[in-house]
């Protein structure tokens, strides 16, 4: 186990004094949210996400944990209050828990300054090992990608027989006290007939669900177009089973 050195002076990032208003974009919106990709590597090969023989960045081109920490604290100094750790799959990054622990010390809820929320997006294959460490580091909720509860479909979609590990990871997150939101991609001809059951299963266990439309992307663009399913169509199907009540609640993103 290695430890993350957070006491050294940053040698690659010039940390200027924050302005009173922090960072703003061209539309004068304050920038308070950072998505930090810690790796492009993943232990799944989802068909709508990447080809089976994926070419990853050389390790020397990926920021070290210390550099990721310096970058994050630079953003915190400029008004970022929420950081989401993403990938690839973040939990395959060696010693990644050290980064969570270091950033967790900046959480206001833990006596730190500036950071109000530290979250994680994961496929949950490694979550059984790390859920309690994440909770102890200050993470309170996680986003988990899950498109199906059918083991055959899962293996077809991800090219890996890993559904049991994912379900164990979700259970571990709940046991650790982490709030869980499932992200499910609606796929025509693949999982469109089980979206209602996935929602029922998630809600019965106290988890939220976000449905996502598949979009064209790089080497898998053609396959993605074949699987495109309008969420308007999904909504119509949901309304046949449940009463949907509009709400103003949101997580800061584009989801409705």
List the domain boundaries for the chain: 33-50+57-184
Could you tell me which of 128, 120, 117, 131 has the C-alpha nearest to residue 86? 120
SS (H, E, C) 94-131: CCHHHHHHHHHCCEHHHCCCCECEEEEEECCCCHHHHH
Tell whether the model's pLDDT for residue 212 goes beyond 70: yes
| Mean pLDDT score, 90-96 | 95
CB 126 within 8 A of CB 79: no
* CA distances to 38, 39, 85 from 100, in Å: 11, 14, 9
Mean pLDDT (whole number) for 134-158? 96
Angle formed by the axes of helices 231-241 and 195-204, nearest 10°: 60
Is residue 135 pLDDT above 50, yes or no? yes
pLDDT at 202 exceeding the cut of 70: yes
> Which SS3 state, helix, strand or coil, does residue 38 take?
coil
Question: What confidence tier does 134 reach under pLDDT thresholds 50, 70, 90?
Answer: very high
CA 80 to chain CA centroid, Å, is 17
23-36: per-residue pLDDT in tens? 988 888 899 999 99
**pLDDT attached to residue 224:** 57
Q: Is the pLDDT of residue 19 over 80?
A: no
pLDDT of 90 strictly over 60: yes
Question: Between these two residues, 189 and 2, which has the higher pLDDT value?
Answer: 189
- CATH superfamily, domain 33-50+57-184, is Aldolase class I (3.20.20.70)
Q: Which long-range contacts (CB under 8 A, 24 or more apart) does 151-154 make?
A: 153/190, 153/191
Q: What's the pLDDT at 247?
A: 84
pTM for this model (two decimals): 0.85
Non-local (6+) Cβ contacts of 229 within 8 A are 186, 187, 188, 192, 213, 214
Kindly report the length of the chain.
256
Report the candidate in 234, 130, 250, 155 with the shortest Cα–Cα distance to residue 192: 234
Helices 96-104 & 127-137, crossing angle to 10 degrees?
20
Res. 169 pLDDT band, cuts 50 70 90 = very high
Torsion sign, CA atoms 109, 113, 114, 119: negative
pLDDT category at 152 given cuts 50, 70, 90 is very high
Average pLDDT value for the chain: 86
Identify the pLDDT of residue 253: 66
Give the integer Cα–Cα distance in Å for 33 and 172: 27
Tell me what pLDDT residue 45 has.
Answer: 83
Bridge partners (DSSP) of residue 186 are 213
Residue 16 confidence (pLDDT) above 70: no
pLDDT of 55 higher than 90: no
pLDDT at 142 over 60: yes
Q: Which residues contact 10 (CB under 8 A, 6 or more apart)?
A: 70, 74
Q: Provide the pLDDT for residue 60.
A: 80
- What is the rounded average pLDDT of the residues 180-201? 94
Q: What pLDDT shows up at residue 9?
A: 40
């Amino acid at each position: 186990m290695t430890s993350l050195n957070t006491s050294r002076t940053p040698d690659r990032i010039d940390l200027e004094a924050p302005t009173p208003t922090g960072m703003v974009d061209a539309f004068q919106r304050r920038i308070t949210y950072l998505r930090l990709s810690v790796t492009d590597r993943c232990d799944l090969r989802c068909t709508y996400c990447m080809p089976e023989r994926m070419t990853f960045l050389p390790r020397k081109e990926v920021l070290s944990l210390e550099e990721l920490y310096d970058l994050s604290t630079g953003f915190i100094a400029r008004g970022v209050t929420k950081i989401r750790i993403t990938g690839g799959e973040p939990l395959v990054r060696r010693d990644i828990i050290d980064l969570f622990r270091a950033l967790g010390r900046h959480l206001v809820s833990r006596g730190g300054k500036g950071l109000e929320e530290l979250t994680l997006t994961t496929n949950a294959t490694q979550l059984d090992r790390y859920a309690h460490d994440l909770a102890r580091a200050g993470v309170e909720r996680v986003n988990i990608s899950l498109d199906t509860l059918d083991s055959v479909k899962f293996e077809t979609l991800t090219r890996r027989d890993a559904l049991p590990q994912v379900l164990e990871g979700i259970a571990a997150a709940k046991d650790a006290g982490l709030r869980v939101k499932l992200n499910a991609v609606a796929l025509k001809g693949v999982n469109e007939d089980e979206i209602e059951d996935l929602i029922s299963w998630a809600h019965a266990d106290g988890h939220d669900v976000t449905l996502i439309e598949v979009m064209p992307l790089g080497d898998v663009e053609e396959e993605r177009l074949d699987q495109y399913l309008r969420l308007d169509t999904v909504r119509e199907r949901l309304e046949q089973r449940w009463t949907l009540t509009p709400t103003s609640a949101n997580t800061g993103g584009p989801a409705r």
